[in-house]
Homo-oligomer: A and B are copies of this chain.
């Protein structure tokens, strides 16, 4: 079905062209005005007038920009600059990972390997950022993961917070955002594998403690070893299925 099949088309694709012009124009406006996430945008009518395009083009453009998290609409309040988060990437990647579920979960294994590679590669930065420091919050998270594991329970909320806090002191925030994005993909697809064994849960909980200890000791090599230990149970499951 074509978008234009529902009405005669004297100028085919004019709508699509107008809408991509409107997309570029709105992005340009945000940059030119040096707007930041959360800043308000003009109304739909103001945008139509300023950009010289139809209301339906502006509306289509806004919908695309919302999908990309560049614009957000708070109903009853107006349009604002979005968070420009990793959400669109996560949605695409989760879907991509699910697209070939018969294919031995290769999509998911690829994601886990990329996460592990990034985490291992960050060992020098993490060790430098944490060397000689301690964190009561991270200690507490490790203890909670270990007691949940002892009770045979999983701990995805604690897990996410642990990784996010561990990368927080890094100057380059993109690493944290990427890791969060991959974490999200990971947790949305891992349940497809079925429940992890009690042993795997315990190994993973323990590996978090080892990662933290290595970071606080500033020990790059120990951090790499703990990172591999952290992903080992999951990679083993993924090799098996």
Candidates B44, B63, B111; contact of A67 at CB < 8 Å? B63
Complex-state Cα separation, A98 to B84, whole angstroms: 11
A240 CB–B CB distance under 8 Å? no
| Interface residue? A190 (CB, 8 A) | no
Check A34 for interface membership: any CB of B closer than 8 A. yes
Q: How far is the CA of A153 from the CA of B185 in the complex (A)?
A: 41
Distance to closest chain B CB from A38 (angstroms): 12
Given A43-B1, A84-B99, decide whether A12 and B75 contact each other with a Cβ distance below 8 A: yes
A108-139 contact mask (Cβ, 8 Å, vs B): 1 or 0 = 01110110011011100000000000000000
The answer to whether B68 and A92 touch across the interface, beta carbons within 8 angstroms, is yes
What residues on B are CB-neighbors of A2 within 8 Å? 73-79
Establish whether residues B75 and A16, one from each chain, have CB atoms under 8 Å apart when the complex forms.
Answer: yes
> B1 to A79, Cβ gap below 8 A?
yes
Chain B residues whose CB sits within 8 angstroms of the CB of A13 once the complex forms:
75
Q: How would residues 1 to 37 of chain A score, 1 for a CB under 8 Å from any chain B CB and 0 otherwise? A: 1111110010011001000000000010011001011
- A3-B75, A78-B2 given; A70·B95 CB < 8 A: yes
Task: Considering the complex, give the chain B residue whose CB is closest to the CB of A67.
Answer: B67
Interface residues in chain A, defined as those with a beta carbon under 8 Å from any beta carbon in chain B: 1-6, 9, 12-13, 16, 27, 30-31, 34, 36-37, 41-46, 59-60, 62-64, 66-70, 73-79, 84-86, 88-89, 91-93, 95-96, 98-102, 109-111, 113-114, 117-118, 120-122, 172-175, 178
Given A37-B99, A117-B121, 11 extra CB contacts under 8 A: A1-B79, A3-B44, A3-B62, A5-B78, A30-B99, A63-B63, A63-B67, A67-B88, A88-B91, A114-B174, A121-B121
